[in-house]
Amino acid sequence: MSSQAIEALYATGHWLLSNARHKEAAEVFRVMALSKPDDERAWLALGACHEAIGQKRLAIELYAIARGRALRALDRTNEADDAFESAYELATTVGDPELAELALQERRAS
């Protein structure tokens, strides 16, 4: 996906989120996260969407993926691995195979 398309997704999701259309925003940010998993904005915004609709545990794990990526960038690999493993376990528990696979891919990239 082109950088222009990613920016369009982000702008659309942000607008939806700003207008309290959390479920629609989550759909947009999920597409963004799946299309460009190395863009932390998608993970953080998706976490904010799930937090706003009351899915606090899922929000925490989405934030954990963003945190894990930041920890890995700081060469704190063990902590990053723990964050990705936690995200994987919760995604599996709540029955979200796409998120579970992304967390697993991030863990493997460490």
Q: Tokens 């963004």 identify what position? A: 32
Write out pLDDT tens, residues 80-97: 999 999 889 888 888 888
Query: What range defines the domain where residue 74 resides?
Result: 3-109
CA 13 vs CA 56, 70, 92, 93: distances in Å:
19, 22, 25, 26
* Whole-number Å distance between alpha carbons of 35 and 66: 15
The total number of structural domains in the chain stands at 1
CATH number (domain holding residue 7): 1.25.40.10
| Its pTM surpasses 0.85 | no
* Whole-number Å distance between alpha carbons of 88 and 12: 27
Write out pLDDT tens, residues 41-59: 999 999 999 999 999 988 9
| 103 vs 110, residue with greater confidence | 103
